[in-house]
């Protein structure tokens, strides 16, 4: 059974940093790309960053590029999001997501898509 | 950038009755392999989003067969054949074409 458990959320002041972690279990972590997604009442659900299965490729949304860094530890089965220069608009619930592109083969179709429970981050002075 | 829109944004439903949500993308979500990279998610109260439909029309594991997805290119539909009380929540369409995907604004489904 796939489990994704985020930690590290909290209340921080603007312009400071915070590191989120996500402990993964129940699947072969090193085989899948991993994502961070956030949700706010204003912007809804936003995919923030993705790291390839081996950590060699990373992509970021424009809203966090240069401020957030995604990383993974395939020995500890852990995903991280280092957030710096935080702004009030970064206040959100942050989700860790494992997802592989759906595909069909041999007459059957498959999906792999699981979300953590979310970590609350509040940026406020 | 792909823009996703949904209608309606609010959908009051009667248990036992059908319901339908439309989703439109600003560009075609169909790849050369013929598949449409459009997913549907539902976020039930207090929960994380969960995958309902992938590749436009395929139900994810464990999803009841009262849910169905259809459409191609830029126009898609999620249908619930007979709404149950447990179906309340916010339904999102999402394009799966880009490296980082884009959700629609969501459709809130509530029981009348």
pLDDT tens, residue by residue, B3-47: 999 999 999 999 999 999 999 999 999 999 999 999 999 999 999
Classify A48 as helix, strand or coil.
strand
Among A39, A34, A36, residue whose Cα is nearest residue A100: A34
Which residues in chain B touch residue A35, judged by CB atoms under 8 angstroms apart?
100
Task: Please count the other Cβ atoms lying within 10 Å of the Cβ belonging to residue B14.
Answer: 11
Which residues in chain B touch residue A94, judged by CB atoms under 8 angstroms apart?
none
Interface A-B: count of C-beta contacts within 8 A? 56
| B27 contacts: CB under 8 Å, gap ≥ 6 | B2, B74
The tally of CA atoms less than 13 A away on the side-chain side of residue A103 is 5
- The shortest CB-CB distance from B106 to any of A44, A47, A102 is to A44
A39/chain B closest Cα distance in angstroms: 10
A101–B96 C-beta distance less than 8 A = yes
Which residues in chain A touch residue B107, judged by CB atoms under 8 angstroms apart?
none
Q: What percent of chain A has pLDDT over 70?
A: 100
Report residue A66 as tokens: 């240069």
- The shortest CB-CB distance from A45 to any of B37, B49, B99 is to B49
**What is the model's pLDDT at position A101?**
87
Among B49, B54, B47, B90, residue whose Cα is nearest residue A108: B54
**Mean pLDDT value across residues A106-110:** 89
**What is the model's pLDDT at position A113?**
97
**What is the model's pLDDT at position A62?**
97
- The shortest CB-CB distance from A45 to any of B54, B61, B92 is to B92
Q: In chain B, which residue's Cα lies nearest the Cα of A62?
A: B100
The alpha carbon dihedral of A54, A55, A59, A63 has a sign of positive
Which residues in chain B touch residue A118, judged by CB atoms under 8 angstroms apart?
48
Does residue A102 carry a pLDDT above 90? no
A115–B49 C-beta distance less than 8 A = yes
């Amino acid at each position: 059974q796939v489990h994704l458990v985020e930690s590290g959320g909290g209340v921080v002041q603007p312009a400071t940093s915070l590191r989120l972690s996500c402990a993964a279990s129940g699947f072969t972590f090193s085989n899948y790309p991993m994502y961070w997604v956030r949700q706010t009442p204003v912007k809804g659900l936003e995919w923030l960053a993705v790291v390839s299965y081996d950590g060699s490729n990373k992509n970021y949304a424009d809203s966090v590029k240069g401020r957030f860094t995604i990383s993974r530890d395939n020995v500890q089965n852990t995903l991280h999001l280092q957030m710096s220069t935080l702004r009030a608009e970064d206040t959100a619930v942050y989700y860790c997501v494992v997802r592989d592109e759906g595909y069909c083969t041999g007459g059957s179709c498959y999906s792999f898509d699981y979300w953590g429970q979310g970590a609350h981050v509040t940026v406020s002075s | 950038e792909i823009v996703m829109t949904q209608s309606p944004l609010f959908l009051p439903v009667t248990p036992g009755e059908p319901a339908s949500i439309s989703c439109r993308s600003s560009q075609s979500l169909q790849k050369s392999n013929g598949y449409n990279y459009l997913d549907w998610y539902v976020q039930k109260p207090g929960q994380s989003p969960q995958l309902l439909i992938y590749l436009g029309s395929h139900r994810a594991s464990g999803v009841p067969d009262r849910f169905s997805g259809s459409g191609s290119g830029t126009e898609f539909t999620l249908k619930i054949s007979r709404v149950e009380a447990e179906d309340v929540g916010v339904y999102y369409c999402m394009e799966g074409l880009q490296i980082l995907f884009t959700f629609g604004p969501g459709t809130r489904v509530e029981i009348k």
